[in-house]
């Protein structure tokens, strides 16, 4: 079995929505789910390998890579840069005293009980009797639903809602486990392009990550071989991801006895359930192809620990199979990951002081204080961004007739070519990249992929005294230029600017037009002008 290990550097907040929160809020998981990675790679595979079957489930390679559990997409957890390891959910048996806000040690309740214990939340890297604590940084943004045409909230369509997302500028390690070596090569080929978009609200500035492939193709989630863990008298099972189980009647269950039964069968031994340190939560998901949510089922949460008495010794191969394949349902999405005897028979683990500083910076009280202090700044930032977007929407509407021939006789580009241009530009907008558009019209005139007839049509159609294709290249090459010019001439030149760029200032916060936003509105201008040309031609043909 080979593992494809890679890092995900978050460039924008990530919204991996869980089922927490009220109806007007979306709360992200503190990790990037394996199902999200699988969905993104399915999209890349279909573009790169283009299977010919009408139903991709008729393709055996697609089924093996993405659906039947032969290949498993593990959750991306925080990356410990100092240890160069993927952190794991903190086991629920590790606790601190409620009165201890900055723990110097955490206690293993399997071996020792303490008064007023409180579970330690987050992720960790354990090295013998030392533990490094990590917690995901989060970003809370407040959004206002906008009408698509008017660009602002209206009665019946202006709800205020909140996104609690994974913050940008963090690094996560993901892992894809492949039973076949050749499948690992395919997965690696799908990860060659650095830019990747994950999760929800990608059009609202969420989801951008960059991919960094790691050379290591080995798999060991806890960093310990079974030989180092097998001598413990008890058998402890720690969930490294959520676990979905079903009883004998096919109903989802969180009964430890069902887990006992499944583990006994998988390990080839009889286990006796002794104790557990477990939590339960409801999990779901979203199928982008269907456009529908997945059924919601109860699951045992990652970090839960179960203690068993083993009746006889366990074969090494059985442990390897269970830990590598997982148990329960949705193993392909990284559910059901377990580790056996990860937590050693140690009463106390010493907290690494360097990791403790980072952990405490994101502690509950510190986070609440930070949110309170920055609430005004956050609201000002959101309002400034919203007003800038609204003004750019208005500016765009004014620019459409100024950049479109008024007479059908001056538009030589055929409707089919205009539709093609709109589709390719829409793809560029979706990918936030000018590459799809350049693949059609070329970055330079001599590199165009238009056929001779289409090239002539674009040349004969004039926009601002130059050919349509050249005007498109100019817009895309310098997206800020046309916006700066239009912004300066609009409203008698009284629109606010900062360093020559459009800007909006609210309560001391200034939102300045950046390149990414300018490129987005440039793509929208090209699409709008093409649509306007098409409408003029169709009106004349009636």
pLDDT single digits (tens) 77-88: 999 988 889 999
Res 97: pLDDT: 81
Which tokens sit at 237? Answer: 């099972």
Question: Can you tell me the distance from the alpha carbon of 76 to that of 32, in angstroms, rounded to the nearest whole number?
Answer: 5
Q: pLDDT tens digits, residue range 29-55?
A: 999 999 999 999 999 999 999 888 888
Q: Which residues of 435-468 are buried (b: 16+ CB within 10 A; e: fewer)?
A: ebbbebbbeeeeebebeeebbebbbebebeeebb
In which band, very low, low, confident or very high, does the pLDDT at 128 lie, cut at 50, 70 and 90?
A: confident
The per-residue pLDDT for range 309-354, each reduced to its tens digit, is 877 788 889 999 999 999 999 999 999 999 999 988 888 888 886 6
Dist. CA 288–CA 41, nearest whole Å:
13
Residues of the chain with CATH 2.60.40.4350: 226-340
Do residues 102 and 360 lie in contact, with contact meaning Cβ atoms separated by under 8 Å?
yes
Structure tokens at 100: 């201890």
Model confidence pLDDT, tens digit, residues 486-539? 888 876 556 788 877 888 877 667 889 999 999 999 999 999 999 999 999 888
Q: What is the pLDDT of residue 357?
A: 52
* pLDDT at residue 73 is higher than 80: yes
Q: Write the DSSP string, 392-416.
A: HHHHHHHHHHHTS-SSGGG--S-HH
| H helical segments located in 244-352 | 256-267, 316-325
Residues 6+ apart with CB under 8 A from 360: 101, 102, 366
DSSP per-residue string spanning 445-514: GGG----HHHHHHHHHSEETTEEHHHHHHHHHHSHHHHHHHHHHHGGGGTS-EETTEEEEEETTEEEE--
- Domain 226-340, classified CATH 3.30.200.20, yes or no: no
Query: b/e per residue, 166-200, with b = 16+ CB within 10 A?
Result: bbbebbbbbbbbbeeeebbebbbebbeeeebbbbb
Distances (CA, A) of 88 to 70, 263, 306, 431: 23, 21, 17, 32
- What is the Cα–Cα distance from 423 to 429, expressed in whole angstroms? 10
**Contact criterion met (CB below 8 Å) for 461 and 536:** no
| Cα–Cα dist 122/77, whole Å | 10
CA 223 to chain centre: 26
Beta bridge partners of 237: 306, 340
What backbone torsions phi and psi does residue 8 show, to the nearest 5 degrees? -120, 115
- Does the pLDDT of residue 256 top 50, yes or no? yes
């Amino acid at each position: 079995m080979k593992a494809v290990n890679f890092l995900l550097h978050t460039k924008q907040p990530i919204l991996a929505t869980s089922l927490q929160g009220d109806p007007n809020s979306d709360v992200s998981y503190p990790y990037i789910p394996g199902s999200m990675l699988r969905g993104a790679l399915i999209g890349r595979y279909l573009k790169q390998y283009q299977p010919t079957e009408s139903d991709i489930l008729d393709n055996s390679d697609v089924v093996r890579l993405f659906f039947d559990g032969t290949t498993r997409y593990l959750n991306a957890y925080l990356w410990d840069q100092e240890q160069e390891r993927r952190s794991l959910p903190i086991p629920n048996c590790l606790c601190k005293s409620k009165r201890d806000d900055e723990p110097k040690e955490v206690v293993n309740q399997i071996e020792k009980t303490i008064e007023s214990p409180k579970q330690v939340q987050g992720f960790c890297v354990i090295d013998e009797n030392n533990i490094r604590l990590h917690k995901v940084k989060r970003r809370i943004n407040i959004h206002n639903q906008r009408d698509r045409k008017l660009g602002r909230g209206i009665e019946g369509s202006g709800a205020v809602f909140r996104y609690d997302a994974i913050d940008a500028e963090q690094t996560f390690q993901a892992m894809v486990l492949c039973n076949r070596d050749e499948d690992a090569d395919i997965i690696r080929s799908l990860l060659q392009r650095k830019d990747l978009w994950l999760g929800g609200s990608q059009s609202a500035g969420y989801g951008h990550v960059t991919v960094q492939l790691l050379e290591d193709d080995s798999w060991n989630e806890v960093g310990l071989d079974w030989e180092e863990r097998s001598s413990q008298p008890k058998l402890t099972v720690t969930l490294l991801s959520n676990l979905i189980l079903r009883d004998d009647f096919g109903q989802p269950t969180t009964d430890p006895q069902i887990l006992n039964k499944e583990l006994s069968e998988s390990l080839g031994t009889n286990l006796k359930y002794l104790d557990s340190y477990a939590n339960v939560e409801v999990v779901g998901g979203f199928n982008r192809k269907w456009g529908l949510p997945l059924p919601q089922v109860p699951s045992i949460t990652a970090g839960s620990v179960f203690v068993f008495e083993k009746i006889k010794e366990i074969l090494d191969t059985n442990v390897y199979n269970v830990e590598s394949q997982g148990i329960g349902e949705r193993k392909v999405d990284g559910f059901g990951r377990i580790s056996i005897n990860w937590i050693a028979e140690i009463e106390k683990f010493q907290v690494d002081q360097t990791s403790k500083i980072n952990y405490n910076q994101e502690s509950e009280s510190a986070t609440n204080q930070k949110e309170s202090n920055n609430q005004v700044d956050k609201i000002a930032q959101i309002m400034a961004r919203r007003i800038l977007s609204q003004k750019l929407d208005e500016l765009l509407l004014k620019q459409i007739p100024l950049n479109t021939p008024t007479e059908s006789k001056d538009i030589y580009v055929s409707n089919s070519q205009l539709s093609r241009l709109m589709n390719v530009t829409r793809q560029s907008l979706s990918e936030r990249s000018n590459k799809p558009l350049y693949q059609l019209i070329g970055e330079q005139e001599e590199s165009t992929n238009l056929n001779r007839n289409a090239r002539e049509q674009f040349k004969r159609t004039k926009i601002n005294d130059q050919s349509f294709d050249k005007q498109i290249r100019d817009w895309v090459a310098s997206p800020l230029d046309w916006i700066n010019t239009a912004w300066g001439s609009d409203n008698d030149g009284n629109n606010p600017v900062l360093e020559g760029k459009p800007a909006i200032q609210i309560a001391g916060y200034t939102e300045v037009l950046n390149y990414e936003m300018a490129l987005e509105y440039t793509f929208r201008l090209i699409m709008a002008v093409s649509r306007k040309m098409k409408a003029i031609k169709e009106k004349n043909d009636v």
